[in-house]
Amino acid sequence: MVVGEISQDRELVIIGGGPGGYSAAIRGAQLGLSVTLIEQSSMGGVCLNKGCIPSKVFTHAAAKREETKHLHDLGIGSGDTSFNLKKLLSYKTKVIDGLRFGVESLCKENKIEIIRGKATFIGADRIGVENGHQFDIYVFKQAIIATGSIPLMPVGMQKGPRTLLSHEIFELEEVPEHLIVVGQDYIALEVASSYAALGAKVSILMDDEAGYPFDESINKELNRLFKKRKINVLKISEVLSTNESDDGISIVFQSSKDMEETLQGSHLFLSGDRKPNVEPLGISRFGIKQTAEGFIKVDETMQSSIASIYAIGDVTEGPLLAMKAIKQGKTAVESIAGGKQEVDFTFFPVIAHTIPPIASVGLNEQQARDLEMKVRISQFALAGNGYGTITGKKDGFIKVLSDSSTDLIMGIHMIGEGAIEMSGSFVQLLEMAAKEEDIKFPTYAHPGFNEGLLEAVEGLIGQAIHAAPSKNKKKDLLSI
């Protein structure tokens, strides 16, 4: 190893080139800061290279394959509907490479210095970067930690080639004959939904106590759709053991009825837990405050207990999602540049690229009960939406909750085509403290899925046009 003789000064150093890191770097450059970004692996981080983007290539392909069933009704010859996984993997690589090149080009255009290597904190104001035999020291004014998280194997489970974690499941070179999915978070649901549409037999082992992470109406609809698509959902209390062989994998679990059962499959996917990727940084040497799980404690501006160091994304507490990292990254550099920005995730959207997709923002029905709130509830089925009929995307609904005394919109939940794209509007409505009238007043494009939101809100007071009168009655959720 060759050690740099002289330390080099830098204004802002960002460790990690994932969505949070490169967004922070570009925003910092926009604000006139001199930015250095350190990345050990590929620009774009796990999200672009192994997580968000690869998974959405698969969910997009799965959704398109589902659409082929509708082509015959439109008079379009469907031809060969077989699925070629090798072509999909090639397309995935093309997408990833293109997006990575775009990120690198944006950093170059914004005059961001990119340093390759492994970063380690030497002190509260300096970092060492190792790249092969070279070791350089950088003294910084401010630093942002954006090193993401790494997957954890559940306790007691053995890792083998047929047992796959989130960064591996979309690397398979064959469609599993029988994929067993353990978990019920958005990743598990996307994996189950996608591989089922691509031709795999799929079984989900779901923690009976935790359930799906959505409003109870969406959870019920999910079960209906999974049954329709022959996805087997088994409610369990605990996974006891797994046994992997060259031919397949077996998993022993305790069912929700306290019976020990065994399920055989070809592959096993574990959505599992993740831990913050901070140990290699050496931050424990100078007392930066962390939780028991290792997450870095930050304030509303993303500043840690060390004034010169900020942290964003998966290394901080909260959902381990790219959209959180991006927002935190922008907030951190805006604060460093002298602004008064802060992060507030009160109306953080929960989404899943299932078939159909899901978006959930704000209060759900169970939470309203727990808070003993009195709310109005309306649910509009997309089967009554004209565009849903045209496109054959009639599964799902939009559900709205409002405060019965103030008419404030408290929550919006959707399962159905367009849910992901509409989720931004849901967040904006809740952030702006919209009332029922604020949604009813504007004019909505026709035909379109957006009309479903209008009808759901009109249904709060029995005025939805495309719903039967018996479903239009005002519904109050009384405190329990």
> What would the pLDDT profile of 317-326 be if each residue is shown by its tens digit?
999 999 999 9
Residue 82 phi, psi (nearest 5): -70, 160
pLDDT of residue 477: 44
Question: Residue 315 in 3-state DSSP?
Answer: helix
Going by the DSSP 8-state scheme, the letter that residue 295 receives in this structure is P
pLDDT at position 470 is 59
Q: Is 218 helix (H, G, I), strand (E, B) or coil?
A: helix
User: What are the contacts of 391-394 at 24+ separation with CB within 8 A?
Assistant: 391/70, 391/417, 392/67, 392/69, 392/70, 392/73, 393/356, 393/417, 393/449
Closest of 415, 340, 426 to residue 383, by C-alpha: 415
Block residue for tokens 């994304």: 313
C-alpha distances (whole Å) from 252 to each of 1, 236, 263, 270 are: 49, 10, 7, 14
Active site residue 353: no
Dist. CA 81–CA 97, nearest whole Å: 27
Determine the Cα–Cα distance for residues 172 and 199; give it in Å rounded to an integer: 14
pLDDT < 50 positions in the chain: 471-472, 474-480
Q: Give me the pLDDT at residue 303, please.
A: 97
The partner residues of 376 in beta bridges, in order of sequence, read 402, 476
Contact predicate 22/43, CB 8 Å? yes
Residues whose CB is less than 8 angstroms from the CB of residue 462 and which lie 6 or more positions away in sequence, other chains included: 469, 472, 473, 474
Q: In terms of C-beta density within 10 A (0-12 exposed, 13-18 middle, 19 or more buried), how is residue 185 classed? A: middle
CB 206 within 8 A of CB 234: yes
User: d(Cα 468, Cα 380) in Å, to the nearest integer?
Assistant: 10
Q: What is the DSSP letter of 73?
A: G
Q: Which of 60, 267, 413, 446 is catalytic?
A: 446
Look at residue 78 in the predicted model and tell me its pLDDT: 64
* Paired tokens of 214: 């959505």
Q: What is the reported pLDDT for 409? A: 98
